[in-house]
Amino acid sequence: MVKLSKVLRPVSEEQDADAAVALMLKPTNKDFKILFVKRVENPADPWSGQMAFPGGKRDAEDENLKQTVVRETFEETNINLLDRCRFLGVLTALRSKPRPEMKILPFVILLDHEPSIKLNKKELEGFVWISLGELVQNKGTFQFSFGESPAYVVGSSVIWGLTYRILENFFRILQTCQTMMNSKNQ
């Protein structure tokens, strides 16, 4: 994971975004698990009922997007990202398709502990840890009422849309790390 922090953009790189999410990695055996949360059904929420990463919109009081992701993650999951967690860097900020005026900055964070999760039931109805290996094995498409969409389908968890696009960027970064490591070992 040290190599990953060299390939990611520094946490201090703000990228002019309006919101931030936490892609949290938890080491397990020879893999890593990522935390996904399931949003509650809410007609006012463009991501209603979807699998997502914890996070949300920047508040006026937030000095920067790191403060936003720390605050939002704590509000939603009760995980304190300032306690036994390492910020490895950020991915490229992405525009939301349902709200194209909004840009979301994903932070990649390595957990050094097993967090105790307590969901904010007003915003989230569930969570699941899914390994990188499971995601790679379950990449495909999913048939929605509006049509087919690329997705990771692991059990009853369908990860698509913005969260899928963030994962795709993350997997590209991991591939870059792997290529760098392979070229050094030759």
- Would you give per-residue pLDDT tens digits along the chain (186 residues)? 557 888 888 887 667 899 999 999 999 988 999 999 999 988 777 777 899 999 999 999 999 999 999 999 999 999 999 999 999 999 999 998 878 888 999 999 999 999 999 999 999 999 999 999 999 999 999 998 888 999 999 999 999 999 999 999 999 999 888 777 777 666
DSSP string of 110-171, one letter each residue: EESS-PPP---TTTEEEEEEEEHHHHHHTEEEEEETTEEEEEEEETTEEEEHHHHHHHHHHH
Other residues' Cβ atoms within 10 Å of the Cβ of residue 84: 12
Whole-number Å distance between alpha carbons of 39 and 54:
9
Q: Which amino acid is at 58?
A: R
Under 8 Å CB-to-CB from 130, ≥6 apart: which residues? 33, 34, 36, 152, 154, 157, 159
- Beta-bridged to residue 20, according to DSSP, are 56, 105
C-alpha distances out from residue 57 to 18, 36, 176, Å: 6, 18, 30
Question: Under DSSP, is residue 76 helix (H, G, I), strand (E, B) or coil?
Answer: helix
- What kind and span of H or E run contains 52? strand 51-52
Q: What's the pLDDT at 89?
A: 94
pLDDT at 71: 98
pLDDT score, position 1:
52
Tokens 């030759």 belong to residue:
186
Predicted pLDDT of residue 185: 66
